[in-house]
Structure 1
Amino acid sequence: MKNNCTLFTLLCCCSLVFSQQHSITGTVMDEGAPLSDVDIKIANQGMVSQSDNHGRYQVDASEGDLLVYSKQGMEPIEIRVEDVTRTLNVEMFPKVKKLKNVTVAKKKWHSQKELEKDYHNNPNIVKTAFGYLDRTKATYAVRMINTNNILPGEYDLSNALRGRLAGVRVNGSFSGISSFGRGARSVFTRSGTPAIYDIDGQIFTEFPNFLDVQSIERIAVISSLFGTMRYGSFGRGGVVVINTKAGVRPPTDKNGFVIDRARLRNNIYEGDALTQENMAKNEPEYLKALTRSNSFEEAKSTFESNFDRYSFSPYFILDSYRYFYDRWGKEEFADSIIEDAYASLDNHPVHLKSLAYIYEAQGRFDKAYDTYRDVFILRPQYAQSYLDLANSNRSIKNVKRAAVLYVRYFHLLNRGLIQSDSSTFSGMIKRDFGNLLAVENIDKISKSIKKKDFAQDENLENTRLVFEWSNSEAEFELQFVNSDNRHYTWKHNLRENPLVIEKEKEHGYSSTEYFIDDLSEGPWQVNVNYLGNKSLTPTYLKATVYYDYGTKAQRKEIKVFKLGLKNVNQELFSLQKGNLIAAR
């Protein structure tokens, strides 16, 4: 009776959605450079803000509002505000027009694409979190060290920096392990505030003890207030920009120019995706320290020493929980991490969805259900909430409750209380409901639902891939490589598919699906290139693979990936003869 009441409460709360205005901040950029005088409007309400000389802006908006970014000569960008929207770093793109009888003169400045092409040939260029920077063109001082200035065998980054650049002071010495708090190593460039570290586009506030000095390609130190302004208050002590050899390595042709392999006409996959093992080198320092532990007790001690410093971060909590559960099988201790720090996850649907993904990948479907239920309460108006909770019920073998949720969704859809998406999502949820009716034994369903309307397509291929992402602002490219080594790339970003993303935000879903019809002819590989989520935070991607889809032998595997490093094609998994092989 209690379960039925809970479900009734969940279903009824869909009409109780309240919007509250909150502040949104961010930076508007064009190819990594700040863009000023951009008008930011709330659709149908007029202009409410404008970006300053550094591209920064602030606007007060409510959930559901449509923010419109516009500037003469640039393509307008539209972004719908969500309940968790607090930061929106927006990249704008020039309008492309075909002009006749126009003579183009050589320009003195270089675009980001040109700087990217010249990176490997010009030692004065460094890659930052905000794009490429040529120190010879900058209006402020940028001091640099290149790989040929680093001694062979050098292992201590503080030695590589100490005494090499004017005005740069390094405190502390190498101790063999990560150190925090007092006595920790720090770099100072202009004041008593330590500098931060921009490593291959990722921002770190602690000295990067984890970094292999021999892997460094370039180091740039920016101390100018103007030069560090885009980093906000974090950069008040200066910024040490570090490019590694693996972190900045765009494919080049014989002339040294960057090749965009995804756009080659013959779409041949060149095997350039990084493995998960290589990607692990870019994990946060606390996770590297945990991974180095040789025993549970050592790992526990490392976790406890880092807890006070990182406990505010939901990603520290999720990483630590996942590590202790997966690596050491310490279920009770892992669960205590979530319980003790639940305040950093509670009432935040993005973090809760990430946790639910992890639970599912671990086969802890009961906990995943409880978490999806919390998300449903927070987001009853989202179409994805119905699909997640229905499928979660199915995972815990409560197929009747799953059917009730499907029926309720289509009832609200027919009543016009939920908007219909005639393309992606409606097809997915209809297919899931039809699959439930075909595979499971359900005696009774609503009289308003006719089973024939949800009958499965007999021509469906037998391997179904469903991808879901925790943050609906996430932009990425999924690459599917078949047995002939040819690939197809689905581009999920505002530049390539703005209407798709707007539709997702409007209806409240963050998922897509693909079918593979020739898995028997050879293996397939799936890669991803993460482009960010308009803030410097990771996104969790869940991949569910259904084998023998639509038959009584149907089964599924779930893998979850934390996407953090941007603009790098990385392996996710491969499929071969009904088996999912996670990339190593």
Structure 2
Amino acid sequence: VFLNGEFEEKPKVELGYNGQKSFDEITYSANVIPQNQIKSNYYQLSDLLNGRTAKTSYSRDASIFNRAGYIYDIDGMIFSSEAGIQLPFIDPQIIESVTILNSLSATHKYGTLGRAGVIVIRTKNIGYDEAAVEKPKALVEGNNYSESVELIEGSHNSELGGMLKQAESFSQAKQIFSEYIAQTGSPGVDVYFNASDYFRRWNMEFAIELLDVVGDLAYNNTKALRGLAYKYEELGKLKKAKEVFQRIAIISPLEAQTYVDLARSYKNSGDHQKALDLLKMMMMNQKEGIDFTGIRNSIENEIQHILAFHRTKVKYDDLPMDLRTANFKYDVRVVCEWNDPYAEFEIQFVNPGKRYFTWRNSKLNNTQRMLDGVTNGYAMEEFIIDDAAQGEWIINLKAKEEDTGINPTFFKYTVYTDYGLPTETSETRVIQLANQTQKVTLDRLRYE
């Protein structure tokens, strides 16, 4: 999701999964039918497409059949069939634009489905979730921000947390914890997660030892293991995080997030070719049973990030030309991940002009996006602030429901500044979504 600072820009061509680009940015063939070429006497989609591509045929009842493998991307909904498919009726007068993509460079983001070509259709009015259409709503009129939200703080509201707050030294806190464990018998992973957070103030080595216990308790628990890996990443224990992600790959091989996490851990540990190979596999949708298209932007950004810093160390000549560019950077990239695709929450960005954009992971407000995440096993989204309004940006978070189970839901966010540049910096934080049913401020970014 791009949070841009200006709306005045060159006209963009809608390229489906390739996003929007101006004509001079397109490096492949794209046959564009703009709105001004959609004549008033076009009553059926066949009237508009007839003669513009030889790979489609039209029945007398105006339905369109895909005879040569074309797929149709209609407002982000994919219609495809090996043998042929009848499309829903579309009134040409509500179409904003049509773009026909034929080359491999243009269609690779659709994976093998798009190998014979893609017809991208964008309409003026979209009939499903508006949240699925990514627009820079932070600057839209009416989105005026006037709230006062408290900055998030560490929370230890459990019974153990209340007991540990009475400790005046590390040894005393450790004694309280040991007695609590003895009385409880077999505590869940939530106890060790919370205790680890608390003991950071006294002894980081002991805090990490408590996280290690989670790894033993949750050996076959993907949700808890992913939360554990997030914690290790937050503390800079990248080798430990990599080992956990490798364990997840064994027990959850059909989740898209598994391979995103693995690729990142390989990159962080210096195995850039292995990371790139995984990312290319995801980009080309080559893992049977998983569709990675919902996180294609994040995958491509990771690919370009590797090339920005390690171009001479990896083999990349099989990448599409538009991903090989050396001119790659974002002012700010915020990557959000959570260890449960069913978790419902909203994240809000407020720009210096007090206009806001809210993105929701919600069955009600973002149905298609959340369903795709659950179906394909990913739980992440990224937000880009580039060439935007200067000043303080605020990031707020609110969970829909309290997490009352013993297997906590974690939300990890990483803020990159000068992403892709030699001056790049990053910071990762992990919080529990439990107890965040009141909106809290995660961060305040100074953007210059």
One-letter identity of the residue aligned with 2:177: F
Q: Distance in 2 between matches of 1:492 and 1:296?
A: 39
Instruction: Write out the 4+ residue segments of structure 1 that deviate beyond 6 Å after TM superposition.
Output: none
| 1:554 corresponding residue in structure 2 | 424
Q: Does residue 298 of the first structure (1) align with residue 179 of the second (2)?
A: no
Q: Quote the offset at 1:533 in angstroms.
A: 7.6
Q: Quote the offset at 1:400 in angstroms.
A: 2.6
| 2:152 corresponding residue in structure 1 | 276
One-letter identity of the residue aligned with 2:159: E
Q: Does residue 497 of the first structure (1) align with residue 372 of the second (2)?
A: no
Residues 465 and 515 in structure 1, CA contact (< 8 A), matched pair in contact too: yes
Residues 407 and 446 in structure 1, CA contact (< 8 A), matched pair in contact too: no
One-letter identity of the residue aligned with 1:439: F
Q: Quote the offset at 1:451 in angstroms.
A: 5.6
Q: Give SS of 2:373's match.
A: helix
Q: Distance in 2 between matches of 1:476 and 1:450?
A: 36
* Structure 1 stretch displaced more, 451-460 or 294-303: 451-460
Q: Quote the offset at 1:393 in angstroms.
A: 1.5
Q: How many residues align?
A: 308
Q: Deviations over 1:14-44 (max 9, x none)?
A: xxxxxxxxxxxxxxxxxxxxxxxxxxxxxxx
Q: Give SS of 2:429's match.
A: strand
| 2:229 corresponding residue in structure 1 | 356
Q: Quote the offset at 1:444 in angstroms.
A: 4.2
Q: Distance in 2 between matches of 1:531 and 1:320?
A: 25
Residues 255 and 290 in structure 2, CA contact (< 8 A), matched pair in contact too: no
Residues 211 and 228 in structure 2, CA contact (< 8 A), matched pair in contact too: no
Q: Does residue 452 of the first structure (1) align with residue 321 of the second (2)?
A: yes
Q: Distance in 1 between matches of 2:192 and 2:388?
A: 38
Q: Quote the offset at 1:508 in angstroms.
A: 1.5
Task: Specify whether residues 510 and 457 from structure 1 end up closer, same or farther in structure 2 by C-alpha distance, changes over 3 A only.
Answer: farther
Q: Quote the offset at 1:553 in angstroms.
A: 2.5
One-letter identity of the residue aligned with 2:345: F
Q: 1:437 aligns with which of 300, 304, 307?
A: 307
| 2:45 corresponding residue in structure 1 | none
Root mean square deviation, CA, Å: 2.8
Gaps of 5+ in 2: 1-137
Q: Give SS of 1:543's match.
A: strand
Q: Distance in 2 between matches of 1:444 and 1:276?
A: 40
Task: Specify whether residues 342 and 357 from structure 1 end up closer, same or farther in structure 2 by C-alpha distance, changes over 3 A only.
Answer: closer
| 1:312 corresponding residue in structure 2 | 187
Q: Distance in 2 between matches of 1:524 and 1:310?
A: 46
Q: Does residue 322 of the first structure (1) align with residue 197 of the second (2)?
A: yes
Q: Distance in 2 between matches of 1:521 and 1:453?
A: 29
Q: Distance in 2 between matches of 1:401 and 1:394?
A: 8
Residues 275 and 570 in structure 1, CA contact (< 8 A), matched pair in contact too: yes
Residues 256 and 292 in structure 2, CA contact (< 8 A), matched pair in contact too: no
Q: Does residue 526 of the first structure (1) align with residue 395 of the second (2)?
A: yes
Residues 273 and 568 in structure 1, CA contact (< 8 A), matched pair in contact too: no
| 1:483 corresponding residue in structure 2 | 352
Task: Specify whether residues 549 and 339 from structure 1 end up closer, same or farther in structure 2 by C-alpha distance, changes over 3 A only.
Answer: closer
Larger Rg belongs to: 1
Task: Specify whether residues 316 and 497 from structure 1 end up closer, same or farther in structure 2 by C-alpha distance, changes over 3 A only.
Answer: same
* Structure 1 stretch displaced more, 334-343 or 536-545: 334-343
Q: Distance in 2 between matches of 1:489 and 1:273?
A: 15
| 1:367 corresponding residue in structure 2 | 240
Q: 2:267 aligns with which of 381, 394, 403?
A: 394
**TM-score, length-scaled by structure 1:** 0.49
Residues 396 and 442 in structure 2, CA contact (< 8 A), matched pair in contact too: yes
Q: Quote the offset at 1:349 in angstroms.
A: 0.8
Task: Specify whether residues 425 and 310 from structure 1 end up closer, same or farther in structure 2 by C-alpha distance, changes over 3 A only.
Answer: farther
Task: Specify whether residues 536 and 456 from structure 1 end up closer, same or farther in structure 2 by C-alpha distance, changes over 3 A only.
Answer: farther
One-letter identity of the residue aligned with 1:425: I
Q: Distance in 2 between matches of 1:398 and 1:525?
A: 35
Q: Quote the offset at 1:375 in angstroms.
A: 1.2
Task: Specify whether residues 364 and 483 from structure 1 end up closer, same or farther in structure 2 by C-alpha distance, changes over 3 A only.
Answer: same
One-letter identity of the residue aligned with 1:286: L
Q: Quote the offset at 1:286 in angstroms.
A: 1.0
* Structure 1 stretch displaced more, 393-402 or 476-485: 393-402
Q: Does residue 286 of the first structure (1) align with residue 155 of the second (2)?
A: no
Identity of paired residues, percent?
27
Equivalent positions of 1:67-78 (< 5 A) are none
Q: Quote the offset at 1:369 in angstroms.
A: 0.9
Q: Distance in 2 between matches of 1:271 and 1:310?
A: 45
Q: Quote the offset at 1:409 in angstroms.
A: 3.5
Q: Quote the offset at 1:291 in angstroms.
A: 3.4
One-letter identity of the residue aligned with 1:323: Y
Q: 2:386 aligns with which of 484, 500, 517?
A: 517
Residues 478 and 489 in structure 1, CA contact (< 8 A), matched pair in contact too: yes
Q: Distance in 2 between matches of 1:341 and 1:421?
A: 29
Residues 476 and 529 in structure 1, CA contact (< 8 A), matched pair in contact too: yes
**TM-score, length-scaled by structure 2:** 0.63
Q: Distance in 2 between matches of 1:456 and 1:378?
A: 36
Residues 456 and 550 in structure 1, CA contact (< 8 A), matched pair in contact too: no
Q: Give SS of 1:548's match.
A: strand
One-letter identity of the residue aligned with 2:278: L
Residues 314 and 344 in structure 1, CA contact (< 8 A), matched pair in contact too: yes
One-letter identity of the residue aligned with 1:313: G
Q: Distance in 1 between matches of 2:321 and 2:185?
A: 53
One-letter identity of the residue aligned with 2:393: W
Equivalent positions of 1:43-62 (< 5 A) are none
Task: Specify whether residues 574 and 380 from structure 1 end up closer, same or farther in structure 2 by C-alpha distance, changes over 3 A only.
Answer: same
Q: Does residue 466 of the first structure (1) align with residue 342 of the second (2)?
A: no
